[in-house]
Amino acid sequence: MRKISLSTILLLLLISLPVRAEQDPIEKLINEIYSAWNAHDAEKLFSYYSNNFVTGDGIDKLGYRKLTETLWETYPNIQLKNEKKTIRSQDQYATASIIDLFFGDSKDKNEQMNETGKLNAISQGQIFFKKYGNEWKVESDRIYFELVTIYYGNAKQYLDSHQIYFGAPEQVHAGEQYTATLYFILPESVQATATINHEQISYPHDENVEESYQAATSNKLERLFGANETNHNELVSSTIILTKGILEPKLEGILYISKRVNVLSKKTPIKKLEIVKTTYAKSQEKESSETPSKQEE
CB-CB contact of 76 with 102 (8 Å) = no
**For position 229, what pLDDT does the model report?**
93
Mean pLDDT per 10-residue segment, the chain (297 residues): 55 52 84 97 98 96 96 97 93 96 96 93 97 96 96 91 94 96 92 94 72 82 95 95 87 96 82 57 54 49
Topology at the third CATH level for domain 23-150: Nuclear Transport Factor 2; Chain: A, (3.10.450)
**For position 203, what pLDDT does the model report?**
83
Give the Cα-Cα-Cα angle 35, 98, 144 (nearest 5 degrees): 125
What is the C-alpha to C-alpha distance for residues 55 and 143, in angstroms, rounded to an integer? 9
Please report the beta strands in the chain, taking only residues with DSSP state E, as ranges in sequence order.
49-54, 79-90, 93-110, 115-132, 135-153, 164-167, 171-173, 177-184, 190-200, 214-215, 220-226, 234-244, 250-264
**For position 296, what pLDDT does the model report?**
47
Topology at the third CATH level for domain 154-265: Immunoglobulin-like (2.60.40)
**For position 19, what pLDDT does the model report?**
46
CB-CB contact of 153 with 251 (8 Å) = yes
Domain boundaries, the chain: 23-150, 154-265
pTM of the model: 0.79
What is the C-alpha to C-alpha distance for residues 110 and 104, in angstroms, rounded to an integer? 15
**For position 6, what pLDDT does the model report?**
57
